[in-house]
Amino acid sequence: MPVIVVANPKGGVGKSTLATHIAGWLAHQGHAVMLGDVDRQQSARQWLALRPATLPRIQGWDLDGADVLRAPKGVTHLVLDTPAGLHGKRLDAVMKIADRLLVPLQPSPFDIAATHAFLQTLRAHRRADRVTMGLVAMRVKEHTHAADHLNSFLAALQQPPVAALRDTQNYPHLAARGLTLFDVAASRVERDLTQWQALTDWLQR
């Protein structure tokens, strides 16, 4: 079963936006998808609770009698959101199950510095060679100094991002209703869907 993990120890970089949209895309592909959060607070459930029942189903964790989180029976694809401050044993647990790990980052000096340190940790991890990793630039405003700074950072890493997603109110507006870009008319979000094409291509490889 493919396990896609979205991780960055820096808070507010767009992890939940990325995770919910990946789950939404997989559901529209006809897969039995679970969206979970490795944090015990289970914030992913808040978004799932808003999702209309008429849309392709995305499941959350099952909670068994021993208070243990488990993937529901029949699930074929797992998407895991992760909390800020991911490190140590919790990072080890994530790396143990991940097939693909996406690291979102925003074009700000603080996010770039935190992401740089996290990437070094990931590359040094004993399971790094078993996990396919990619970067996703989030909330990018073209032709700004921040975007130029981000591009310089990525060039120095010699690791181009899987995709670059623009800064738009489409994402928070959809999230407030439990929706993704893939749940609304394509004509409303055409530019954003075009940006997602590179990411969905990467997920299918």
Q: How far apart are CA 181 and CA 27, in angstroms?
A: 12
The pLDDT, as a whole number, for residue 65 is 53
Which one, of 23, 20, 5, lies nearest residue 102 by Cα? 5
- DSSP per-residue letters across 168-189: -THHHHHHTTT--GGGS-GGGS
pTM of the entire predicted model: 0.94
The pLDDT, as a whole number, for residue 119 is 93
The pLDDT, as a whole number, for residue 159 is 82
Decide: helix, strand or coil at residue 195.
Answer: helix
Which one, of 66, 30, 27, 65, lies nearest residue 47 by Cα? 27
**Structurally, how many domains does the chain consist of?**
1
The pLDDT, as a whole number, for residue 45 is 85
Range of the domain at 191: 3-204
The pLDDT, as a whole number, for residue 63 is 62
Q: How far apart are CA 94 and CA 92, in angstroms?
A: 5
Q: Supply 103's token pair.
A: 């690291």
The pLDDT, as a whole number, for residue 64 is 60
CATH number at residue 129: 3.40.50.300
Query: Alpha helices, DSSP H only, in 29-144?
Result: 44-50, 88-97, 109-124
Which residues of the chain are modeled with pLDDT < 70?
39-42, 63-69
The pLDDT, as a whole number, for residue 86 is 85
The pLDDT, as a whole number, for residue 66 is 53
The pLDDT, as a whole number, for residue 4 is 97
Which one, of 52, 63, 61, 62, lies nearest residue 24 by Cα? 52
Query: What integer best gives the mean pLDDT of the chain?
Result: 91
Q: How far apart are CA 135 and CA 169, in angstroms?
A: 22
The pLDDT, as a whole number, for residue 155 is 86
Which one, of 80, 61, 85, lies nearest residue 131 by Cα? 80
Q: Hey, CA dihedral for 181, 182, 185, 189, is it positive or negative?
A: positive
The pLDDT, as a whole number, for residue 38 is 78
Phi, psi of 71 (to 5 degrees): -70, 135
